[in-house]
Amino acid sequence: MRPEPLFLERCEQVQVLLESNREIEILDLAARLRQLLLDQHCLAGAANTNKVKLRFEVGHFDGGPDPFEAYVTFRSLEDGVDPQTRARPQEPLRLNLDEFMAHKVMIVSGAAISIKEIIRHVSNVAGGVHYDPNPKQEYKLLQEVGQMFGIGGLPAGVRVLKAMARVALRGLQPLIDDVRKRHPAP
């Protein structure tokens, strides 16, 4: 299969997986996001032959120092990653793909965790693509947090994937439109 139709199919799969609250399907969501955005030959890059400019609008932690930060064990944007589902209105950040992947969405014992790290952890350790009961050091913190904290019956770091995926699809929409023009469905 050529990268363009594969890109479109994977985007459609993400849309379908977003409708589910089943953990296994959210794990699959991480695998699709990895294919679309992170793999060495990611599908968004392979399909973007016209160099369509991508922008991802994301929610963020409120600015300013937090006097209680030293006492905070766990903090996560969760649905607030997606400005459209954020509880309090906030001007979103507009990021390119690299900035989107580096965007910090969770803080665990003072360590900031990015979108990229969550997608990789859920894909490579938690079962999205691979299951690893003894992960590399870079994944241990997220594994421990997922065992200690849960939201909506899902481990921390898993539920936030739905908000990340909604943001990703909206950011990819100009590319989806471009690919559909160049490769219309039969």
What does the pLDDT profile of the chain (186 residues) look like in tens digits?
899 999 999 999 999 999 999 999 999 999 999 999 999 999 999 999 999 999 999 988 776 666 666 666 767 777 778 888 877 777 899 999 999 999 998 887 777 889 999 999 899 887 788 888 787 777 777 777 766 666 777 777 788 899 999 999 999 999 999 999 999 876
- Calculate the alpha carbon distances from 129 to 50, 108, 120, 169 in Å: 30, 24, 10, 20
Which residues sit opposite 111 in a β-bridge?
Answer: 108
User: What pLDDT was estimated at residue 161?
Assistant: 92
User: What pLDDT was estimated at residue 29?
Assistant: 96
Distance CA 26, CA 73 (A): 25
User: What pLDDT was estimated at residue 43?
Assistant: 98
User: What pLDDT was estimated at residue 46?
Assistant: 98
Q: Following CA atoms 166, 11, 52, 35 in sequence, which dihedral angle do they give, to the nearest 10 degrees?
A: 100
- Calculate the alpha carbon distances from 175 to 17, 55, 92, 171 in Å: 20, 10, 21, 8
Domain count within the chain = 1
Give SS3 for 56: strand
User: What pLDDT was estimated at residue 34?
Assistant: 97
pTM: 0.88
- Which range marks the domain in which residue 141 is found? 3-182
86 phi and psi, to 5 degrees?
-65, 140
User: What pLDDT was estimated at residue 117?
Assistant: 93
> In 3D, which of 136, 137, 156 has the Cα closest to residue 145?
156
